[in-house]
Structure 1
Amino acid sequence: MTLRLGQDRLRLRPWAGEAGTGLLILLIPGKAVSESTAAAAVETAIARGYQRLRTSALSHLESEPFIRAGFEPRQQLALLSRPIQARPLQDNSPHRNGSIAIRRARRRDRPSVLAVDHAAFEPLWQLDQAGLTDALRATPFRHFRVSHQDADTGLTGYAISGRSGPAGYLQRLAISPDQQGQGAGAALIIDGLRWMARWGATHAWVNTPQHNTRALRLYGRLGFEQVPPGLQVLELRLGQ
């Protein structure tokens, strides 16, 4: 459901794979909601029977009204950015696999995409169908691609890139565990950055849990740098 309170817009839906937990998504990124909106969101979640309420990844500015409403940090995320140049990018890693193919994702790919997602992420971050839809709708323009080794093999990974004005976002990247380190992740990121460049984006942004050292190394190799203080996911236990 969408909550419209004054100028604030939030979405409340179940957290994937965790009964009794609700997810709050800010629909106007970069703008902190009012304290009354945060309180109203909590009351709505209680009325809908949730026992726990969790936010999407928030900046410290966006977090402030929820902290004042009693939310506490659940997980810290690294926020990374890099400028987007018009010149072509390439992955010079010695692990680069030249047989990786990237193509546009089709609707019939979605079950396989979610299977890759569940294999790649810990339960806290796994997407369900509603979460995948949210990722695809997070920005006005999107670029949804999948990777595979050849036409006869299943998907090895996928990426959702987005664009809003001059900002580009790597909104989701997942690689099958048995294919990690083989170049699919870098290939998908570079494909997304090239798409952003074609449409005039000047900076790309991505976030990942601070303990995800493999992802941090990959992003660093492709020119991303961390932007302190990062982001955080907040949580509030209800009915206490």
Structure 2
Amino acid sequence: MHDIQIIVRPAQSADIDRILRFREHARRVVMHFGYEDLVQMVKRGMCLVADTGPLLWGFVCTASYQPGLAMLRGIGLINGWRIDDGLSYLLRPMEQSLIEQGMRYLMHLAVDVWLSAPLMRQGFIPHDYIIHFERATPVKPLLPEYQLEDVTLRPLHPHEIQALTLLDHQAFDWPWQFSSGELVKWLMIADRLVVLEAEGELVGYACTQVHGEQAQIVRLAILPQWQGRGLGRYLLADALDFAAQRGARFVTLNTQWHNTASQRLYKGFGFRAVGRRIPVLIKELKEP
């Protein structure tokens, strides 16, 4: 293998199918993206391949997550290539490219167990864990029990994106804050995105998606100064009722290991943690 010349270069349109077919001849593959995602990453120069000519030896794909922070969305290594060698070959030029694009950090959600330890040997450090919760949809409506009189539950208006972005950034710690662009995307594709208004300002919001028999509460946030007043329960009850009305049988959501307040809220509503904790790994990008 040492006699083979490996060239690491930006992926091109012709490489898209080669990357998507990589699973056919490699075991160590992580692909947290679909075809359209890959097309965009290639167009933006955020995907590299290790090419020998007739065969790809590996690839690495990233995407901008928020200003200064990129997400490691996919990586693959051909069978027989030592993991540490392959990661070093691919990550060093990718990190340099990200630095040139203004990125300061690279984050990975370590769903695939085999990749965690090798990434930490490449300088990634554990930042947090993601916990997955699930419960059945309610048999009878919950909202009447948790509805509040001094706040208004209503849809988000498009002109309120900046106000919603400010709310989101106050409610969530780095790196979990959504950009305005991300919130616009959810406004367009979410099955339900509602806000709570009180005293003339947005104080909370929730975003829900329904896919057949399963719904996901993508986002639930309350301004810190308004927490502890039942607003989170109000939004959660509304989301659960909406999921039940749409025919979902189960509702899922995620939160961070350190967010004990959210965990108490969800457990109080009958959610239970399922699956394993997902490590969140982050590397600070520095010039060599």
Q: Give the TM-score, by structure 2 length.
A: 0.65
User: Secondary structure of the equivalent of 2:149?
Assistant: coil
User: Secondary structure of the equivalent of 2:175?
Assistant: helix
Contact preservation (8 Å) 2:204, 2:223? yes
2:72 to 24, 28, 32: 24
Task: Give the superposed CA RMSD.
Answer: 3.2
Alpha-carbon distance change, 46 to 198 in structure 1, aligned in 2, over 3 angstroms:
farther
What aligned pairs does 1:26-175 form with structure 2 within 5 A after superposition? 34-35=76-77, 42=91, 43-49=93-99, 50-55=103-108, 57-59=109-111, 62-65=112-115, 67-69=117-119, 70=122, 71-90=124-143, 97-133=148-184, 135=186, 141-149=190-198, 153-175=200-222
Task: Determine whether 1:183 maps to 2:214.
Answer: no
Alpha-carbon distance change, 133 to 108 in structure 1, aligned in 2, over 3 angstroms:
closer
2:247 maps to: 200
Q: For the residues of structure 1 that align with 2:190 and 2:66, how far apart are their CA atoms?
A: 24
Consecutive unaligned residues in structure 1, runs of 5 or more: 27-32
Alpha-carbon distance change, 167 to 214 in structure 1, aligned in 2, over 3 angstroms:
same
Say which structure is richer in helix: 2
Superposition deviation, residue 16 in structure 1 = 2.8
Q: For the residues of structure 1 that align with 2:186 and 2:96, how far apart are their CA atoms?
A: 25
Q: Give the TM-score, by structure 1 length.
A: 0.76
1:14 to 61, 64, 67: 64
Consecutive unaligned residues in structure 2, runs of 5 or more: 1-10, 22-30, 42-61, 79-85
- The AA in structure 2 aligned to 1:24 is L
Q: For the residues of structure 1 that align with 2:73 and 2:227, how far apart are their CA atoms?
A: 30
User: Secondary structure of the equivalent of 2:237?
Assistant: helix
Number of matched residues? 221
Contact preservation (8 Å) 2:207, 2:219? yes
Contact preservation (8 Å) 2:196, 2:203? yes
1:223 maps to: 270
Q: Report which of the two structures shows the higher radius of gyration computed on alpha carbons.
A: 2
Alpha-carbon distance change, 135 to 231 in structure 1, aligned in 2, over 3 angstroms:
farther
Contact preservation (8 Å) 1:13, 1:22? yes
Superposition deviation, residue 112 in structure 1 = 1.0
Percent of pairs identical after alignment? 23
Alpha-carbon distance change, 178 to 225 in structure 1, aligned in 2, over 3 angstroms:
same
Superposition deviation, residue 66 in structure 1 = 5.8
Superposition deviation, residue 145 in structure 1 = 0.7
